[in-house]
Amino acid sequence: MMKQLSIYAENRKGTMQKITQILEDQHVNILGSVTNDSAEYGIIRMVVSDVDTAVSALRENGFICRTTDVLGVEIQDHPGALNHLLKALLDSNISVNYLYLSFVRESGMPIMVLHTEEIMEVEECLKSKGFVLL
């Protein structure tokens, strides 16, 4: 299981750069990210190298942050790999709230970061089906 950082930020010019500057200043590496926006605010979801340092620094700079448990599932780098993972989840009657791509830096293997309800049960289910989880 992994911790994900969610940042709630205004949709204004320079906001994302301010966030990345704060993380750079704290030597926090962004390992994976996805951004969802609405008219005025967006949610930036990230897996980072040091979530506690990131949360502390961002909050000190006025950002609203929270952490969430997510799963990092290693998949092969070929056509159909994501489909194979999603089929395994569907066959087990598991819904995915959202997912995004990251990579294992050492091996270059793709990692699907996903959020779902009952995360501990889903983790055990995927392990039993032969998936590698971070």
pLDDT of the chain, 134 residues: tens digit per residue: 899 999 999 888 899 999 999 999 999 999 999 988 776 788 999 999 999 999 999 999 999 999 999 999 999 989 999 999 999 999 999 999 999 998 877 777 899 999 999 899 999 999 999 999 98
CB 33 within 8 A of CB 44: yes
How many CB atoms lie under 10 A from the CB of residue 13?
Answer: 7
pLDDT at 41: 83
pLDDT at 63: 97
pLDDT at 109: 85
**Domain assignments of the chain as residue spans, ordered by start:** 2-69, 70-133
What's the chain look like in SS3? Answer: CEEEEEEEEECCCCHHHHHHHHHHHCCCCEEEEEEEECCCEEEEEEEECCHHHHHHHHHHCCCEEEEEEEEEEECCCCCCHHHHHHHHHHHCCCCCCEEEEEECCCCCCEEEEEECCCHHHHHHHHHHCCCEEC
Which amino acid appears at position 14 of this protein? G
CATH number of 70-133: 3.30.2130.10
Cα 111 from Cα 73, distance rounded (Å): 5
The architecture of the domain spanning 2-69 is: 2-Layer Sandwich (3.30)
70-133 and 2-69 share a CATH fold: yes
pLDDT in tens, 86-103: 999 999 999 999 999 988
pLDDT at 16: 93
pLDDT at 69: 95
Cα 93 from Cα 122, distance rounded (Å): 10
